[in-house]
C-alpha cells in the first residue's frame, strides 16, 4: 500500500499561508556554518561533536532501512503520523531492549521521520539532529533513539509522543482546548528545555521554537523536538554567530531576520511568541486577524503591559478559567522576551525563575470546563 507523503514544500512558504512553516527567511549568506563575530570560522557542530566521524553518537542505535520498513509495515498509510519540512513521520514498533522491529502492539512505539529524497538542506538538518539530540538528554527534549543512513536514505527514530504537537492542541479545529494549568506547565517545560540548551558550553541555540516543535506526552509534559536548525552559540567574548537566516515566519526574532546575527536571545524572542500563543490560542501569524495577515506579536503587544487590557488577549475558549495573577506574570514575561533590543530580553534562566513557581500539578483535565480557577494550586517544584 502506498503512503501519504506528498512532499510538502519546506522553503519559501506562501506569504498568505496561515500555517507557519520553516522558511529560508533570507538567503544572502549561503554558508550554513557559523562564523563568529570576530570573523573566525568554526564548524557548526564541532564543539558538541565527540569525534570527527559523521555519526559520533555511540548511544544511538543504527537501524537499517529494512528494520524501519518492518517496524512501519513498509511506511504504510495507517502508520502515517504527519508531515513537516523534513519529510513524513510514521509510527513504528520496536523491541524495548534489542530495538529490533516488532509487530504492531509488541514492544515500544517510536516515531520514525523519513527525509524527503529531494531535500539537500535536509541532510544537514539530519546530521544536526543526530549530533545534538544524540548527546543531550533532558526531560524536556525529545529522546532520539536511533537513525538510519543508507546512501541517500536518511531517517530518524524518536520516542513516540502520544499527544502530538502543541500546535494541534492550540489551533486544530475540533480539538478540545487545553486547560490553563496545562498551558502554564507547557510554558515552564519549554523554558526548562531552552534553559538547559543555553546553559551548555558553548550554548546551543535552538533556532526553531514554535508550537509544532513542542511535543506532548500523555500527562502533557512538553518536550522540544527538531534540532535540525540548532547551532552552537558564540563563545568567549563573541557576541553572536552569523548564519544563513532560516527559521519560521512569525517566530524568528526581528534582529536575526534583519542581520543574520544569532544569539541565545533569538530563542528568547521565539519563546515570547509561544507564550502569546499559549495565552491567546491564536497563531503567531494569521490571516484572519484584521482581514489581512497580522503578526500576533504586533496585535498583542499594546495589551501586554496593561493589567486591565491584558484580558483582551486571553483565549476565549478558556471561558475565563485562568488564574489572573499567573496570566499577568506570563504577559509581563512575554513582553520582556519580545523586547526589540535583544540585550534587553531576559535570559531563559531568568524567564524560568519567573514562571517556575506558577507550576500546577500534572494530570489536570484537558478542558478548562469545570476547572475553577481557584483549584489551580501552586507549588514550588
Ligand X SMILES: Nc1ncnc2c1ncn2[C@@H]1O[C@H](COP(=O)(O)OP(=O)(O)OP(=O)(O)O)[C@@H](O)[C@H]1O
CB of 260 to ligand X, least distance (A): 20
Residue 114 counted as an annotated binding residue: yes
CB of 101 to ligand X, least distance (A): 17
Interface ranges with Mg ion (CB under 5 A): 84, 213, 226
CB of 226 to Mg ion, least distance (A): 4
Residue 91 β-bridge partners: 111
Residues in Cβ contact with 9 at an 8 Å cutoff, skipping those fewer than 6 apart: 21, 85
Q: Name the residue number minimizing CB distance to Mg ion.
A: 226
Question: In 3-state terms, what secondary structure has residue 80?
Answer: strand
CB of 190 to ligand X, least distance (A): 14
Catalytic residue among 29, 32, 189, 208: 208
Q: What span, in angstroms and rounded, lies between the C-alpha atoms of 11 and 21? A: 8
- Residue pair 304/298 in contact (Cβ under 8 Å)? The answer is no
Residue 21 is a binding residue for ligand X (CB under 6 A): yes
Q: Name the residue number minimizing CB distance to ligand X.
A: 84
Residue 79 is a binding residue for ligand X (CB under 6 A): no
336 binds, among ligand X, Mg ion, none (CB under 5 to 8 A by kind): none
Contact range with ligand X by CB under 6 A, out of 64-72, 180-188, 207-215, 294-302: 207-215
Residue 232 β-bridge partners: 204
Residue 157 is a binding residue for ligand X (CB under 6 A): no
Residue 142 is a binding residue for ligand X (CB under 6 A): yes
* β-sheet with 241-242: strand ranges across: 35-36, 241-242, 261-262
21 binds, among Mg ion, ligand X, none (CB under 5 to 8 A by kind): ligand X
Binding-site member from 49, 121, 140, 213 for ligand X (CB under 6 A): 213
| Of 197, 209, 187, nearest in space to 351 by CA | 187
Residue 209 is a binding residue for ligand X (CB under 6 A): no
Residue 161 is a binding residue for ligand X (CB under 6 A): yes
208 among known catalytic residues? yes
Residue 119 is a binding residue for ligand X (CB under 6 A): no
- What DSSP letter does each residue of 131-181 carry, written as one string? HHHHH---TTBPPEEEEEEETTEEEEEEE--TT-BHHHHHH-TTSPPPPHH
Count CB neighbours of 196 within 10 A: 20
- Footprint (CB under 6 A) of ligand X, residues 224-253: 225-226
| Of 75, 24, 2, nearest in space to 243 by CA | 24
| Of 176, 180, 211, 221, nearest in space to 330 by CA | 180
Which residues does the annotation place in the binding site? 114
Where is the binding site for ATP, in residues?
A: 114
Catalytic residues: 208
Binding site for ligand X (CB under 6 A): 21-22, 81-86, 89, 111, 113, 142, 158, 160-161, 164-165, 212-213, 215, 225-226
Amino acid at each position: 500500500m502506498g503512503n501519504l507523503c506528498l512532499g510538502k514544500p519546506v522553503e519559501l512558504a506562501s506569504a498568505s499561508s496561515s500555517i507557519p512553516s520553516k522558511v529560508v527567511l533570507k538567503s544572502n549568506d549561503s554558508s550554513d556554518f557559523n562564523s563568529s563575530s570576530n570573523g573566525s570560522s568554526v564548524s557548526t557542530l564541532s564543539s558538541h561533536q565527540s569525534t570527527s566521524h559523521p555519526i559520533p553518537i555511540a548511544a544511538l542505535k543504527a537501524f537499517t532501512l529494512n528494520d524501519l520498513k518492518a517496524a512501519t509495515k513498509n511506511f504504510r498509510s495507517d502508520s502515517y503520523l504527519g508531515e513537516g519540512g523534513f519529510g513524513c513521520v510514521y509510527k513504528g514498533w520496536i523491541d524495548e531492549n534489542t530495538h529490533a522491529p516488532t509487530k504492531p502492539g509488541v514492544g515500544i512505539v517510536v516515531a520514525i521521520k523519513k527525509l524527503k529524497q529531494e531535500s539537500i538542506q535536509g541532510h544537514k538538518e539530519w546530521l544536526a539532529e543526530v549530533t545534538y539530540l544524540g548527546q543531550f538528554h533532558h526531560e524536556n527534549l525529545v529522546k532520539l533513539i536511533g537513525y538510519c543512513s543508507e546512501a541517500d536514505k536518511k531517517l530518524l527514530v524518536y520516542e513516540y509522543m502520544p499527544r502530538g504537537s502543541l500546535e494541534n492542541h492550540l489551533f486544530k479545529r475540533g480539538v478540545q482546548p487545553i486547560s490553563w494549568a496545562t498551558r502554564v506547565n507547557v510554558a515552564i517545560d519549554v523554558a526548562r528545555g531552552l534553559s538547559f540548551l543555553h546553559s551548555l558550553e558553548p550554548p546551543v541555540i535552538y533556532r526553531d521554537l514554535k508550537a509544532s516543535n513542542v511535543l506532548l506526552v500523555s500527562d502533557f509534559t512538553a518536550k522540544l523536538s527538531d534540532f535540525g536548525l540548532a547551532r552552537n552559540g558564540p563563545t568567549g567574548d563573541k557576541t553572536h554567530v552569523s548564519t544563513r537566516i532560516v527559521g519560521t515566519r512569525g517566530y524568528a526574532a526581528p534582529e536575526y531576520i534583519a542581520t543574520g546575527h544569532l544569539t541565545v536571545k533569538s530563542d528568547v524572542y521565539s519563546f515570547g511568541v509561544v507564550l502569546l500563543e499559549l495565552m491567546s490560542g491564536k497563531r503567531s501569524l494569521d490571516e484572519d486577524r484584521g482581514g489581512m495577515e497580522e503578526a500576533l506579536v504586533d496585535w498583542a503587544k499594546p495589551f501586554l503591559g496593561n493589567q486591565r487590557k491584558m484580558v483582551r488577549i486571553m483565549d476565549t475558549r478558556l471561558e475565563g478559567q485562568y488564574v489572573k495573577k499567573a496570566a499577568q506574570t506570563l504577559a509581563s514575561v512575554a513582553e520582556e522576551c519580545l523586547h526589540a533590543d535583544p540585550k534587553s530580553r531576559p535570559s531563559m534562566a531568568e524567564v524560568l525563575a519567573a514562571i517556575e513557581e506558577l507550576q500546577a500539578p500534572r494530570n489536570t483535565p484537558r478542558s478548562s470546563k469545570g476547572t475553577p480557577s481557584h483549584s489551580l494550586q501552586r507549588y514550588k517544584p
